[in-house]
Structure 1
Amino acid sequence: MRVVLFGATGMVGQGVLRECLLDERVEAVLAVGRAPAGTTHPKLTELVREDLFALEPITGYDTCFFCLGLSSVGVAADEYERITYQLTLSVAAKLPENTTFVYVSGASTDSTERGRVRWARVKGATENALAKLPLRTFFFRPGYIQPLHGITSKTPLYRTIYRVAAPLYPVLSRLAPRVVTTTEEIGRAMLEVAANGYEHQILENTDITAAARR
């Protein structure tokens, strides 16, 4: 498996990169982003570009894990749509046909695109547009994600929340397994889905956990 990874500096992307580098099925990883991932490994190559809309076509890779995104909180509607929808589709259009494309969406994403929540509509529109492309697409909709192995969020508030929640995670995972997962499980699930597919194109939190344990 040869993987292109977008968003390797984010919390989810860090977890996915870690699992890619550990997994023997992964031959090479190209991390594409606006900043270096801060990791060195024989499998890893980095492509740092300020303008990700200006990327050349990406060839030589069979899988794309798209973990790049931003919170809708405090972000103008047009900027959120530009990054969440337009950039994702711009990247997908630069991949060869039949590339496996795993997109990190989120729980409560609105596939109808008609709900009241803006971010959920935009995520839903992104999923729907990706599904029409000649790619092998899967959409991950995790709930609460607990970072592991020293991985941290870039958002100070979220870092505080995760530090407080970390000792409680074993309890949360037992009490609410349908809505909680970890960065490790997401990474393992992505690799499993890329290698062997899945019964559904949309993977909710329980599907992510199930795929990670296969």
Structure 2
Amino acid sequence: MKVILTGATGLAGAEVLARCIAHPSITSIIVLSRRPLPNPPNPKVHTVIATDDDYLTYDKPAIRQATAGADACIWSLGDPWADVATARTISFDYPLAAARVFSQRHKETQTQTGGDGKGEKFRFVYLSGGAVERDQSKPLWFLQDERKIRGQAEVALLAYAKEHADALDAYILKPGIFLRKEFKVVDLVTRLAPSVRVVLLAKVLVETALNGAKEDTLLNGAIVAQGKKL
């Protein structure tokens, strides 16, 4: 299986990348990144440097070639401290464009190779957050713009997948606070709120990309429970 990954330099994305490398069913990982990865090279991994414009079109020859034949995308790119305009671009425009472009190219590839376009659909797995709010009328006390913009993205992704059910399955993961693999004193505080070990989150993200899920939205409790079983 060939998987596209964004946000590979972040806490969750780096763990997802490690999980993808270790998983025997994943043969190719295409990392879209603004800068080279700090990790040692791996034969499974191909990093493509992407500019801001590339994240809206995915039309640069290097990106088209690298992502051709991809079966799924795990989207873990985000910036909770960005200004409103940047947050909308990164958390809404970029992933919506990716879901649209990659799913349609996947369907076209199936048709060109002799299929009827009704085979395995492209899977788009969007890493959101437990505090992200889909209800745009609800007052929020912190990070209101980012949380509501990502809520808009959740709604738009699921709506697009419903409208293009022949080409795309979209899944939203809404974890609580990320906890690192190693124990830290701060964990005693963060565990008072919904939280998940990043290694468990990565397992569920990869599993969803590989096999889908029964529900299109997975909340923190479901992520933790499933991650412990994998």
Partner of 2:219 in structure 1?
204
Deviation digits for residues 64-104 of structure 1, max 9, x if unmatched?
Answer: 00000001x3x321221111111111222220242111001
Q: Is the aligned partner of 1:87 residue 2:105?
A: no
Counterpart secondary structure, 2:85: helix
Counterpart secondary structure, 1:166: coil
Partner of 2:128 in structure 1?
105
TM-score normalized with structure 2 length: 0.77
Runs (5+) with no aligned partner, structure 1: 150-164
CA distance in structure 2 between the partners assigned to 1:183 and 1:83 by the alignment: 22
Counterpart selection for 2:148 from 121, 138, 162 = 121
Runs (5+) with no aligned partner, structure 2: 105-120
CA distance in structure 1 between the partners assigned to 2:22 and 2:145 by the alignment: 37
Letter matched to residue 129 of structure 2: G
Retained in 1: the 8 A contact 2:123–2:212? Answer: no
CA distance in structure 1 between the partners assigned to 2:211 and 2:90 by the alignment: 29
Partner of 2:171 in structure 1?
138
Q: Shift in Å at residue 113 of structure 1?
A: 2.4
Q: CA RMSD in A?
A: 2.1
Partner of 1:65 in structure 2?
74
Partner of 1:166 in structure 2?
184
Retained in 1: the 8 A contact 2:175–2:220? Answer: yes
Partner of 1:183 in structure 2?
198
Counterpart secondary structure, 1:111: coil
Counterpart secondary structure, 1:37: coil
Q: Shift in Å at residue 124 of structure 1?
A: 1.1
Retained in 1: the 8 A contact 2:127–2:172? Answer: yes
Question: In structure 2, do the counterparts of structure 1 residues 42 and 203 end up closer, same or farther at CA, with 3 Å as the change threshold?
Answer: same
CA distance in structure 1 between the partners assigned to 2:75 and 2:200 by the alignment: 16
Q: Shift in Å at residue 167 of structure 1?
A: 4.0
- How many residue pairs are counted as aligned between the two chains? 194
CA distance in structure 2 between the partners assigned to 1:88 and 1:195 by the alignment: 19
Q: Shift in Å at residue 180 of structure 1?
A: 1.4
Counterpart selection for 1:194 from 176, 187, 209 = 209
Q: Shift in Å at residue 147 of structure 1?
A: 2.3
Partner of 2:5 in structure 1?
5
Partner of 1:158 in structure 2?
none
